[in-house]
Amino acid sequence: MVIAQLHGCDSKHVESVPVHEVFRGKTVWDGIVEVFDLVGHPKAKRCYAWSHPEGTDDKGERFVTVLELPPVVSPKTVVQVAAVNDIKKRYDHRRQHG
């Protein structure tokens, strides 16, 4: 349902892939990436998705979907790209708020 809302196409679940990604000796992701084939998307044939706790006391849930477009070509690369983007956001936030 999230894929249809965000990307305007249907999808079919293909597999669940465990991914453990380490950056500078620290785990930045250890979880499951869901892989979906897309039906009718103009640019991408696949989409990767996962969720994580969010909000007060981590009681909410945030769903993340990323289209398979370079540099994203696999569950591992989608986690790498997301981790780098998250690290950049935290760094930029610290620079702005001192």
What pLDDT shows up at residue 90?
A: 65
Distance from C-alpha of 25 to C-alpha of 23, rounded to nearest angstrom: 5
Distance from C-alpha of 24 to C-alpha of 28, rounded to nearest angstrom: 9
Q: Higher model confidence: residue 11 or residue 53?
A: 11
- Domain boundaries, position 76: 2-97
Q: How confident is the model at residue 87 (pLDDT cuts 50, 70, 90)?
A: low
Chain segment 17-42, per-residue pLDDT in tens: 999 988 889 888 899 999 999 999 99
Give this prediction's pTM.
0.79
The total of structural domains in the chain comes to: 1
Mean pLDDT across 57-75: 89
What pLDDT shows up at residue 72?
A: 95
